[in-house]
Each structure stands twice: as C-alpha cells, then as structure tokens.
Amino acid sequence: MESEAIGAIGLGLLLVLMILRVPVALTMLIVGVVGFAQIISWDAAVAQLKTVPVEVLSNYSFSAVPMFILMGVLAAHSGMAGKLFDSTRVICGGWKGGLAIAAVGSCGIFSAISGSSLATASTMTRVALPEMERYGYNRGLATGALAAGGTLGIMIPPSIALLIYAILTEQSVGDMFMAGLIPGLLGLVMYSLTVTLVMWLRPSLAVAGEPTAWKEKLLSLTGLVPFFGVFLVMILGIYFGAFTPTEGASVGAFATLLYALVKGMRGAQLWASVQETLALSAVVFFMLVGAETLGYFISVSRISFSITDVLYGMDLTPLVVVLCILVLYFVLGMFMDSIAMLVITVPVVYPIIQAMGIDPVWFGILTVLTVELGLMTPPVGMNVFVIKAMAPHVGLGEIFKGVAPFVVSDLLRLALLIAFPILSTMFLL
C-alpha cells in the first residue's frame, strides 16, 4: 500500500477514535506510532516512542508552557480577578450595560496574564456573574459576554495557543505574540461595541449601573496596575530583546508570585496552585508528545504534499486555500478542544501553507482566531460548558443565544484580518 493511502487511512482512524471519545493525546500517539510502523518499520516506531517524549520534554521552548499556566493559576488564586472586576465596574459605572462591558474588559485584561481562555472564563464567571445577576441583567447577555470575553485569552499575548503554534511551525514565539496584540485588542474593543449595540437594540436586557464620579474612576485604575505591570514587562521585554519569550514567561510568573505573596497567599494556597499547574501542564505535554508522533507519521506518509499537488491542480489562489482551511477549522472547532485541534491539524496544513507562499505568522493569527470561535459555538463550545458548570441554573440555550452577537463580531474581525494583513504584522520583531 502506498504511503499516501496509509496517511489517509490514519487520519480517518484519528477521527473515528475521537468520535469514540478516546483521549485526544492517546489517539494521536496510537495513530502516529502504528502509521509510522506501517510505512517504515515497527523497530523504528518503537525507537520513536523512546526518543519523542525526551525531545518534547527537553525542548527549551516548551518550558514556557508551565510558566504561563502557573502565572494564570496564581492570578486566579490571589484575588487579582476580583480586584480587576471591581476596578472595571467603577470605570464603567452609570453606563447602560456597563457591567457587561466591565466583564468583557476584565476578561481581556485577565487573559493577558492567564494565557488561557478556559481559565479566564471560569475565573471571571465566579466574580462577575453574581454581580450582573444582582442588578437584574438578562442571564443570556451576562453569560454570553463572559463566554465571549473568555475567548480573548487565546489571542492576547502571552497566549498558550500562539506559543504552541509557533513551536509546531518553528516560527518566532516573539513574532507570534506581537502579531496577536492588535487582533486581541481589536477583539476586546469589538466585544464592547457589541454589548453597546445589543443595549441599543434591546435596552430591556440590562440596567444602567450606579453612577461613579471621575475621582472614583481615576482611583479605581490602581486595580489595573498589577496586570498592566506584568503584561508590559513581558511584552516590552520580549519586543526590545531584554529576554526571550521563555524567559519572559518566567519573569511574568515570578512577578505574579510576588503579588500573590504580598496579597496574603501562603503555603496551602501556593501548594494548590503548584498542583493545578502540574496537572494542566501534564495534559498539554501529553498532547504535544502525541502531536510530535503524529507529525512524524504525516511527514513520512507525504499526505500533505499530495493535498498540495491536488490544490495546485485545481489552480486555486492562496486566498481561496486559506478560506477553505479556515472553514475546516470552524467546523472542527464545533467539536474539538482548541489546543487539540491545533496540534492535530497544523502538521497537516502547514506544509500546504508553505508551498502556497502564504505568510505563516498571518495564517497563524487567522487559525487561532478561527479556533477561538469554536470555543463558543455549538454543539461543543468549551467556554460555554465551563460557564454552565459555574452557573448550573442558566440553560445552555440561553448561553448560546447570548453569545450569538459575539460570534458575528468575531466573524467581522476575521474578515478585517483577512482583508488587512497589516493588522497582524504591524509589530513584528
């Protein structure tokens, strides 16, 4: 049997195993090892099982992953989220739908520290949802704003998704982070405008918050200082070459730890944070080992090159190819976790992108944004299910209905980034 046919069968088996609810990391590992053995040999496949975990776990670039995770966990456990929401609530005081805008803004700022959409959504829901319900906000609007705001964590640097894409495609992590800055901030602005538009169309969904004086607004800015301090140190340090992204992750984690200690975090809480970080890191690294194994199989099967040849034969423009891949990502995002989708698909589509001469950094931003959409679209919008777990009294239908305007907002943002690539490449190192 030809290697391309084995590659196609392997990818089909991958989908079948995931439908059967086999863990994604294990699925990639099984398909990668068995497929590699069929094309090369079982001895080579077994040898790969010995070397790949060592390659992944000893890769210096991957050491940034647990540091970013630790930073987010410490921020969540140290009370930073509560102080952040209080500050944004005061700033937006008196605005119609101000609490929803404050929730979106808090999610955007918190995600700049956590790097994780799910962590942002779960943490901010605990803090912001009770407050919005107390003021009589429509539950769909409240949970929809939080589900959408949580997705900002996948784009605003430091982002674990951007980090993993950079490592899988051998791009500069610094370039990916800087490329994600404008699209991430654009998402924050467009979500806030979406809340404003919804309020204009359906004013009954929310009430105006308590008015706050300008003095209170200015004083509340102090609650944002820890976040902007850590964020600016990392981003400016990376941009001006003071340290690498991996070193930046360590600097950010250390700064967040100092803040947590100052705010009263002690032994038991710190140990719980470390345990949570280790558990989350283990999941990510298992996925990366599986992805690396699957990548070797895809490489020797040459299926990506066969797909490229087919596309060349169809005489499609690079833009049409990009749009086709993004549609595929949008569909897959309805059923798969964002990180899992990246590690499975990037080894397949990246050679196609290279062959077409498409900017890999720009494509990476489009990919991550499309993956971001999958976090809040049915039937498996992970952010929606996280919020459902935090607020079991709110129906899934209500949350999905509330998140619909934000999905439209994201589609508009995606169109803007496709039409104006400069929005992604403006600050490249």
Name the pTM for this structure. 0.80
Q: Tell me, what's the pLDDT at 280?
A: 80
Gap between the Cα atoms of 256 and 279, Å rounded: 19
Quote the pLDDT of residue 308: 66
- Find residue 96's DSSP bridge partners: 208
C-alpha neighbours within 13 Å on the C-beta side of residue 268:
0
- Please give the average per-residue pLDDT across 20-40, as a whole number: 83
| Predicted pLDDT of residue 379 | 67
Spatial contact of 290 and 26, defined as CB atoms under 8 Å apart: yes
Residue 208 is given by DSSP the state: B
Report the C-alpha gap between 400 and 413 in whole angstroms.
19
More confident residue, 364 or 232: 364
Look up residue 271 and give its two tokens. Answer: 């140990």
Region for 264 from its dihedrals, namely left if φ exceeds 0, alpha if ψ lies in -120 to 50, beta otherwise: left
C-beta separation of 200 from 95 below 8 A: no
The residue-averaged pLDDT of 329-349 equals 75
Give CA–CA dist 116/229, Å, rounded.
19
Alpha carbon distance 144, 170 (integer Å): 35
Query: How many domains does the chain contain in total?
Result: 1
Indicate the pLDDT class of residue 1, thresholds 50, 70 and 90: low
Q: What is the dihedral of CA 157, 158, 162, 163, to 10 degrees?
A: 150
Domain hosting residue 16, numbered range: 3-425
